[in-house]
A and B are shown apart, each in its own frame.
Chain A
Amino acid sequence: MEVLRPATLAEALEARSARPEAFPIAGGTDVMVAVNFDRLRPEAFLDLSRLDELRGWHEEDGEVVLGAGLTFARIERELASLPALAQAARSVGSPQIRARGTIGGNLATASPAGDALPALAAYEADVVLGSAARGERRVSLREFLLGPKRTSLEPDELVLAVRFRSPHGPGSFSKVGTRNAMVIAVASLCLQLDEDARAVRVAMGSVGPTVLRATEAEAFAARALAEAGAFDAAAAPVPAATLREFGQLAGAAARPIDDVRGTAAYRRHAVEVLARRALSWALEGRPAGRRAAG
């Protein structure tokens, strides 16, 4: 066994194509658990943790670009302007896990419970992949996440970044688990209002093979908010029955299973509650002057 430690992204991509058996490791918070428990014994590791090119984030062409090596700790500290993503980052593991765990690792692990994924889905993010042979390509999150622990990453590729238009409107992430810290989600939900497109976007984690969008609930909410005038005047009241129906539609879009962490029925119920709450927070949480009446 050996550890390849490229100093630049170009070297890393070269190493990736020359040595496809070398297992990429970034923060190590998924990889090292498998190594420590003898579940993973690759011939080599490809250490991505020293690639400055992947570590940061910036804005470019009206989009936010998050490097694959950006840690949850930095998202939590630096990206309060993206509350749903920042809340998701804050809910990951513990401070120690957030100091190391990266958004690229969360994407490549492709766990149904990956906490960054609902926010990225609600932002309609694209994933940027790179290889030495073919350069960069950009795929939608849906094209990237094929199923539980399955992605469309090619053996010679690395995840370079994830990018999206910064949404204009309130958003939130919430997660149900057995306690407050250090829990894998039993169900999670991100709701993002897009006030420019007059749309409501809802993505759910841990209730399907991969992150799911609740498209009927989204369309229903967009219509209901438009009818209530809520996109024009934040004071416009939205009936409680609308919130309830929205929750039910989100629950109906879940495809949960029974497992040790919860039953399918419980998960569906959790989604209903999370969706209803998230929409009422979004309606309350808009800037002064456009604020909903209590």
Chain B
Amino acid sequence: MLVRTRVNGEWREADVWPGASLLSMLRDDLGLLGTKNACEQGECGSCSAWLDGEVVCSCLVLAAQAEGREVRTVEDLADGDRLHPVQQAFLDAGAVQCGFCTPGMVVAATDLLERDPDPSDEAVREALSGNLCRCTGYQKIVDAVRLAASRAGGGA
């Protein structure tokens, strides 16, 4: 079936199996491979993307449910070769090891900072509670979010 969705500001169309998830449409049909597929059951957050401005697990959204909606993915963040400040902070804070969880983490962290420019550590941990990382032990990820916040002038 045909699904038309605005992805990162551009109308895109894909011919998908009706049972396909938004994740599979993004990756397999639209070639947007930044959104990762790991568990397909909502547990890991590596498929995090914005749907109408809210971060969701794209593996749990039927592609057909995104018809006519606004989708934003991790690819929207960098400006050409210039990384988004949250991406840069992840690099600088050493918050990336294997990198598999990173796009989902960056999406969740960016969403948090767009809503709350100076979050407490507790708010950071809460915002990232749906994103699993098997490498870092999370501390450096929290540090990265704080670093991004302080560079943006949020943190004191």
Contacts and interface: CB of A to CB of B under 8 A. Distances in A.
Interface of A: 1-3, 5, 25, 27-29, 32-33, 35-37, 41, 44-45, 47, 49-50, 73, 93-97, 99-100, 180-182
Contact of B64 (A47, A93, A97, A100): A47
B56 interface: yes
B40 A95 contact: no
B130 A181 contact: yes
19 contacts: A3-B18, A5-B64, A5-B67, A25-B62, A28-B60, A28-B62, A29-B57, A32-B21, A33-B40, A35-B62, A37-B40, A47-B65, A50-B65, A93-B130, A95-B127, A95-B129, A95-B130, A96-B57, A97-B57
Contact of A100 (B21, B41, B56, B129): B56
A228 B42 CA distance: 48
Contact of B61 (A28, A41, A73, A181): A28
Contacts of B103: none
A99 B42 CA distance: 12
A94 B18 contact: no
A159 B26 CA distance: 31
Interface of B: 1, 17-19, 21, 40-43, 45, 48, 54-57, 59-62, 64-65, 67, 108, 126-127, 129-131
Given A32-B62, A96-B56, A96-B130, 18 more contacts: A1-B19, A28-B62, A29-B57, A29-B60, A32-B59, A33-B40, A47-B65, A73-B54, A95-B129, A95-B130, A96-B48, A97-B42, A97-B60, A99-B56, A100-B56, A100-B57, A180-B129, A181-B130
B43 A182 contact: yes
Given A94-B130, A96-B56, A3 B42 contact: no
B55 A33 contact: no
A99 B40 CA distance: 17
B45 to A, nearest CB: 6
A33 B19 contact: no
B41 A37 contact: yes
Contacts of A37: 40-41
Nearest to A40: B19
A285 to B, nearest CB: 21
A94 B55 CA distance: 11
B61 A100 contact: yes
Contacts of B17: 1
B42 A95 contact: no
A2 B18 CA distance: 5
A5, A28, A45, A94 — which one has the most chain B CB atoms within 10 A of its CB? A94
Contacts of A33: 40-42, 60
A181 B62 contact: no
Nearest to B16: A3
Given A36-B21, A94-B45, A182-B129, A100 B62 contact: no
Contacts of A73: 54
Given A1-B17, A180-B129, A95 B41 contact: no
B13 to A, nearest CB: 16
Which 3 A-B pairs have CB atoms at the shortest separation, nearest pair first? A94-B130, A181-B129, A3-B64
A47 B55 CA distance: 20
